[in-house]
Amino acid sequence: MPGYRTALVRLFTIQAAFSYERMLGVGFGFAAEPLLRELARRGDASGAEPGAAAAPRFRAALARQSRYFNAHPYLAALAVGAAARAEVEGEPPERIERLRAALTGPLGSLGDRLIWAGWLPACAAVGLLLVTLGAGGWAVAAFLLLYNALHLWLRAWGLKVGWRCGVDVAGALAAPVLQRALELVAPLAAVALGAALPAVLDWYPFAAHWELLAGAAAAGLFAVVAGAFQGRATGLVVAAAALTAVVAVGVLW
């Protein structure tokens, strides 16, 4: 894939030009530009010489990829690769616009569930557990390594798969690796958070009544969340249930 490494590095700046008008759009276009240079090298169908200044298709594609786009910043790589491949293959502009618009919702939802509601809480809980065990600064290093292992993989995988699939990228969202990760991340977060809370309460010099108060608060939070989600087994419900159970057992013990 020509320009893959440059595009991957630029993906880390996709939020640098964030605005309410275009959201991630400007960063999207900046990351896609190395992949679109093939259009400049080809020149224009009218016979213009190759080069960015003489390639209207390149300029039009870059402007199109810099328009409004909003999704999870880590999974935006999937859309960047797919949209750039569609441009290079000469797909109609209308189809490319529909592709970008169709990916915003699924990529935003998937990223929120996978990262913000699952992986980030799980890694933070592991870091807290290590702090209570006396790891000190190594706990911070462990958190950063764990969290960024998935973060970096998602960006690299998303860009590569998006480029490979092009306009058929929707099928990649059902990839077994992603679906398996979604199945595992909520229970993992629940177990990690459930183990971290009593460990932190025991490590920090709280009085005994604070532990009882924390248990009551966790139980109340579980009731509110469970009611709000109407019994659906979301990661938040599982995590709250695990926290309540662990704190209740710890207090009774």
- Residue 242 above 80 pLDDT? no
Determine what percent of the chain is predicted with pLDDT higher than 70: 74
Question: 15-24, 162-171, 197-206: which range is least confident on average?
Answer: 197-206
pTM of the full structure? 0.76
**Which token pair is 38?**
């093939």
**Which token pair is 122?**
């799980």
Three-state SS string over the chain comes to CCCHHHHHHHHCCCCCCCECCCECHHHHHHHHHHHHHHHHHHCCCCCCCCCHHHCHHHHHHHHHHCCCECCCCCCHHHHHHHHHHHHHCCCCHHHHHHHHHHHHHHHHHHHHHHHHHHHHHHHHHHHHHHHHCCCCHHHHHHHHHHHHHHHHHHHHHHHHHHHHHHHHHHHHHHCHHHHHHHHHHHHHHHHHHHHHHHHHHHHCCCCHHHHHHHHHHHHHHHHHHHHHCCCCCCHHHHHHHHHHHHHHHHHHC
- Residue 224 above 80 pLDDT? no
Q: Can you give the residue ranges of every domain in the chain?
A: 4-102, 113-252
pLDDT value of position 214: 61
- Residue 87 above 70 pLDDT? yes
Q: 185-205: per-residue pLDDT in tens?
A: 888 887 888 788 777 777 766
Q: Which of 79, 46, 83, 78 is nearest to 64 (CA)?
A: 83
